């Protein structure tokens, strides 16, 4: 670090003259280039002897992997492990304790064996849920008898314990996870539920999903950016927003019996974001390709299995594209990457160990095959227009009740994906009247359409319905302003709040661009075969009391 600091001294001391600063962007001088080269050398080729070695205590997964993969020396080595008790089986001369620390995959536990004096440390406090520290030797164990199903696996490693101690007790008499709690009980015990094998596997799958998405974006030259959570407007124009008001102002308004003054925000209301799209559009017109994982908030009163008041959106915007197909290809690439990362082991075609824990035994093969097929990037997913979707629905259900311009119901969306797409299905070119103001008007009237359409899409998934949505963005200022007027966005305050978006971005190099948003909880729900998005996120936020 000292040598690196020396290389940067010309900059830190202000020895870069004003004239040099003015011309450096055109042709840096030799001294500057030399300093940059020296700094780069220290940054990219550090002295390995100066690197600080960080050794963390081994997790159970690391300890087991070391034995299973044959990396040990062949000699028995005494190790110390820590974890929570999953089960205790006592016999006359021997006791078995199954241990987990949250890192073992596929619902696995480490079987520990206590005999002789080691068994004497166990008392009534060693119950399910208690945390313990055990010292012993990891050995290869005999495979258990029988034919294991997809949710079990022979315990090939066990720990022969020489000593142990209790780290933290667990009151088994009232421990909610000691029995087989209902889904509603688990939601009430959200602070405890992810100790269960399947719920823990959902969180690990979500981690892999987000990692796979991030890797895909990096490979395709997208820059991850951060958008604000507090915004000045409702991006969607649907009015389902939460306002942000300072506590002091709220108290004053109640005492004086008047509306809040929004003094903290200089008289302008502020909201929790419903989407980062408008901000990402601005950043894409600087960086070309941007994406984000951002919380979103919607004051929806819907209590369906697909809705939350707080959720995460994976959103992306691309500049220099005037083809909706480019956006669809991008969405498919992202979702395929998420699927492969979640359910396949280390980039292979073998199922990830957690897959057996996530999927019911009867549905294990079918769901996994469907996911892997969806994650196969060999062919584009089917694409139909909204107009064709309406016609297909009316013909299938032998009715004409669904008119052009009506919204597709969740049931109809699921049917389209299952029967027409037989997997993920893009529905494109919806009526302009159904969509927000920022979507680009199609130049030509779509065949069979009875009104103008926009270059947009919804991605429909079997059993779920809508997973993602996006569009080309309206880059023509005059058309965009007309769309805003048509949507009733005509007040002076609205026009002022959106001036930066509707006018500045269009006037100053506003090229054709497009983007999309994917509901992360819905994606996790589909991939992990979890029926309700409330069970895909810790501490779910829905209408009603906020408990945690």
Under DSSP, the state recorded for 419 is I
What's the pLDDT at 547? 85
**Structurally, how many domains does the chain consist of?**
3
Q: How far apart are the first and last CA of the chain?
A: 44
On whether residue 290 sits in a domain, the answer given is yes
Give 295-316 as a DSSP string: EEE------STT--SEEEEEEE
Task: Assess whether 361 and 341 both reside in one domain.
Answer: yes
Task: Assess whether 262 and 337 both reside in one domain.
Answer: no
Chain centroid to Cα 307, Å, comes to 15
What's the pLDDT at 112? 95
Residue 413's CB is within 10 A of a number of other CB atoms, namely: 23
Task: Assess whether 261 and 375 both reside in one domain.
Answer: no
Task: Assess whether 399 and 261 both reside in one domain.
Answer: no
CATH number at residue 413: 3.30.930.10
Task: Assess whether 137 and 256 both reside in one domain.
Answer: no
CATH number at residue 93: 2.40.50.140
On whether residue 53 sits in a domain, the answer given is no
On whether residue 486 sits in a domain, the answer given is no
Return left, alpha or beta for 468; rule: phi > 0 is left, psi -120 to 50 is alpha, else beta.
Answer: beta
Task: Assess whether 231 and 372 both reside in one domain.
Answer: yes
Task: Assess whether 164 and 267 both reside in one domain.
Answer: no
Side-chain half-sphere CA neighbours of 324 within 13 A: 25
Domain that holds residue 251: 242-272
Task: Assess whether 88 and 234 both reside in one domain.
Answer: no
On whether residue 218 sits in a domain, the answer given is yes
Say if CB 352 and CB 342 are below 8 A apart. yes
What's the pLDDT at 239? 62
- The burial class, CB within 10 Å (0-12 / 13-18 / 19+), for 525 is buried
On whether residue 149 sits in a domain, the answer given is no
Q: Which two tokens stand for residue 272?
A: 């929790």
Task: Assess whether 456 and 356 both reside in one domain.
Answer: yes
On whether residue 505 sits in a domain, the answer given is no
pTM (two decimals): 0.85
Task: Assess whether 262 and 205 both reside in one domain.
Answer: no
On whether residue 78 sits in a domain, the answer given is yes
Cα separations (Å) of 320 from 323, 381, 510?
A: 9, 23, 9
Say if CB 82 and CB 167 are below 8 A apart. yes
Question: Per-residue pLDDT for the chain (548 aa), expressed as one digit of tens each?
Answer: 555 445 444 444 444 444 444 444 445 556 655 654 565 554 555 555 556 667 888 899 988 887 766 655 455 678 899 999 999 999 989 999 999 999 999 889 999 999 988 888 899 999 999 999 999 998 876 554 443 433 445 456 889 999 999 999 999 889 988 888 888 889 889 999 999 999 999 999 999 999 999 999 999 999 999 999 999 877 665 568 998 988 888 877 777 777 777 888 888 888 999 999 999 999 999 999 999 999 999 988 877 888 899 999 999 999 999 999 999 999 999 999 999 999 888 767 788 888 888 886 556 567 777 777 776 766 899 999 999 999 999 998 877 789 999 999 989 999 999 998 888 999 999 999 999 999 999 998 878 788 999 999 999 999 889 999 999 999 999 999 999 999 888 888 888 888 999 999 999 999 999 999 999 999 999 999 999 999 999 998 988 888 88
What's the pLDDT at 74? 52
On whether residue 498 sits in a domain, the answer given is no
Task: Assess whether 421 and 526 both reside in one domain.
Answer: yes
Under DSSP, the state recorded for 56 is P
Residue listed under structure tokens 């997790």 = 59
Domain end point (choices 226, 255, 272):
272
Q: What are phi and psi of 396, to 5 degrees?
A: -70, -45
Task: Assess whether 368 and 302 both reside in one domain.
Answer: yes
């Amino acid at each position: 670090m000292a040598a690196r600091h020396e290389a940067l001294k010309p900059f830190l001391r202000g020895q870069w003259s004003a004239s040099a600063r003015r011309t450096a962007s055109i042709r840096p001088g030799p001294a500057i280039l030399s300093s940059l080269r020296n700094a780069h050398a220290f940054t990219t080729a550090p002295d390995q002897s100066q690197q600080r070695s960080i050794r963390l205590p081994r997790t159970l997964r690391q300890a087991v992997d070391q034995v299973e993969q044959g990396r040990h020396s062949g000699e028995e080595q005494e190790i110390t492990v820590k974890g929570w008790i999953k089960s205790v089986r006592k016999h006359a001369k021997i006791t078995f304790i199954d241990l987990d620390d949250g890192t073992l995959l596929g619902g696995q536990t480490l079987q520990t064996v206590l005999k002789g004096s080691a068994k004497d440390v166990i008392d009534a406090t060693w119950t399910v849920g208690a945390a313990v520290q055990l010292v012993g030797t990891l050995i290869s164990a005999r495979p258990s008898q029988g034919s294991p199903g997809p949710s079990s696996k022979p315990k090939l490693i066990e720990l022969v314990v020489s000593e142990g101690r209790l780290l933290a007790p667990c009151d088994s008499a009232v421990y909610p996870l000691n029995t087989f709690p209902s889904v509603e009980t688990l939601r009430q015990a959200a602070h405890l539920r992810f100790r269960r094998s399947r719920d823990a596997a959902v969180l690990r799958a979500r981690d892999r999903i987000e990692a796979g998405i991030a890797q895909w974006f990096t490979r395709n030259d997208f820059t991850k950016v951060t958008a604000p959570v507090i915004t000045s407007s409702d991006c969607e124009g649907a009015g389902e927003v939460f306002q942000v008001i300072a506590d002091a102002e709220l108290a004053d308004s109640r005492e004086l019996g008047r509306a809040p003054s929004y003094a903290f925000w200089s008289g302008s209301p502020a909201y929790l974001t419903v989407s980062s799209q408008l901000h990402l559009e601005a950043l894409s017109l600087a960086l070309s390709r941007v994406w984000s994982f951002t919380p979103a908030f919607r004051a929806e009163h819907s209590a369906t299995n697909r809705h939350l008041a707080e959720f995460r959106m994976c959103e992306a915007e691309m500049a220099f594209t005037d083809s909706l197909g480019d956006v669809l290809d991008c969405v498919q690439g992202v979702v395929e990457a998420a699927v492969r990362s979640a359910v396949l082991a280390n980039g292979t075609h073998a199922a990830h160990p957690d897959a057996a824990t996530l999927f019911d035994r009867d549905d294990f093969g079918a769901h996994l095959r469907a996911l892997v097929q969806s994650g196969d990037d060999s062919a584009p997913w089917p694409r139909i227009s909204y107009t064709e979707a309406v016609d297909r629905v009316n013909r299938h259900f032998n009715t004409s009740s669904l008119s052009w311009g009506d919204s597709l119901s969740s049931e109809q969306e699921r049917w389209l994906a299952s029967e027409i797409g037989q997997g993920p299905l893009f529905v494109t070119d919806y009526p302009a009247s159904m969509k927000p103001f920022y979507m680009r008007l199609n130049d030509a009237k779509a065949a069979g359409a009875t009104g103008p359409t926009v270059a947009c899409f919804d991605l429909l998934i079997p059993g779920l319905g809508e997973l993602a949505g996006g569009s080309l963005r309206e880059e023509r200022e005059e058309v965009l302003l007309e769309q805003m007027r048509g949507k009733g966005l005509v007040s002076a305050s609205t026009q002022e709040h959106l001036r930066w978006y509707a006018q500045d971005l269009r006037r100053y190099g506003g090229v054709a661009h497009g983007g999309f948003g994917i509901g992360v909880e819905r994606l996790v729900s589909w991939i992990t075969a979890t029926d309700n998005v409330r069970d895909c996120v810790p501490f779910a936020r829905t209408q009603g009391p906020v408990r945690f």
